[in-house]
């Protein structure tokens, strides 16, 4: 029986796609690197920024990564009021209903915890979550199972009582690596075929059907 539900944020709770694309592209310009296209940037959503950059530009000197990160954050702060992310349909209502049914809800994201918590507060979602983990709160981020294992230690639940919900294959691999059940969603940054190939136990095309999956 599922008792704990761990949610991804970007592409699962909120549509941050254009904000992420625009922020990355402007940071690339400022760092004087070739600007990657939307498809390439989409492929790295869900993993820490440094890992994503190294996958696109393998020759980036690692000593410059802190400058990249700071540049990204500056661009992000300047764009986040212009490109305001929206919650996906039925997210607040579904979270409220799940919480009312007694499920413990948490978040595990590759986003830095400062912006993650700010978004959850601004969007009125923070009240539903018992624990919020950003990439800086764990030793090894997605697809490593650390975020799930850390959550289990903090909440006292077992893997077989846990469902991980996310839009990217890294979310599915993270959950499976910890022995949890997994649910992919197709309305974010990935697709049904990719989520199925990653081994998702369930795949949903909309958020609200979680209420049928978790009665």
Q: Which residues are catalytic?
A: 8, 10
- How do 162-166 and 104-108 pair as beta strands? unpaired
| Residue 179 DSSP class | T
CB 100 within 8 A of CB 1: no
**Three-class DSSP category at 120:** helix
Q: 16, 10 in Cβ contact below 8 A?
A: yes
The single-letter DSSP state of residue 142 is T
The dihedral sign for the CA sequence 87, 88, 93, 94: negative
User: What pairs with residue 162 in β-bridges?
Assistant: 4
């Amino acid at each position: 029986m599922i008792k704990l539900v761990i949610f991804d944020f970007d592409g699962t709770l909120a549509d941050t796609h254009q904000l992420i694309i625009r922020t990355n592209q402007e940071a690339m310009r400022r760092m004087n690197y070739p600007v990657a296209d939307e498809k390439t940037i989409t492929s790295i959503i869900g993993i820490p920024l440094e890992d994503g950059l190294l996958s696109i530009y393998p020759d980036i000197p690692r000593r410059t990564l802190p400058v990249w990160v700071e540049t990204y954050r500056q661009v992000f702060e300047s764009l986040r009021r212009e490109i305001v992310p929206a919650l996906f349909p039925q997210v607040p209502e579904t979270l409220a209903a799940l919480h009312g049914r007694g499920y413990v809800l948490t978040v595990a994201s590759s986003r830095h915890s400062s912006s993650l918590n700010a978004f959850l507060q601004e969007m009125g979602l923070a009240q539903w979550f018992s624990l919020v983990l950003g990439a800086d709160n764990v030793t090894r981020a997605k697809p490593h199972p650390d975020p799930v294992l850390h959550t289990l230690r903090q909440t006292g639940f077992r893997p077989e009582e846990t469902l991980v919900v996310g839009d990217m294959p890294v979310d599915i691999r993270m959950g499976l690596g910890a022995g949890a059940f997994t649910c992919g969603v197709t309305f974010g940054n990935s697709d049904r075929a990719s989520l199925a190939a990653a081994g998702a136990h369930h795949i949903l095309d909309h958020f609200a059907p979680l209420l049928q999956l978790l009665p």
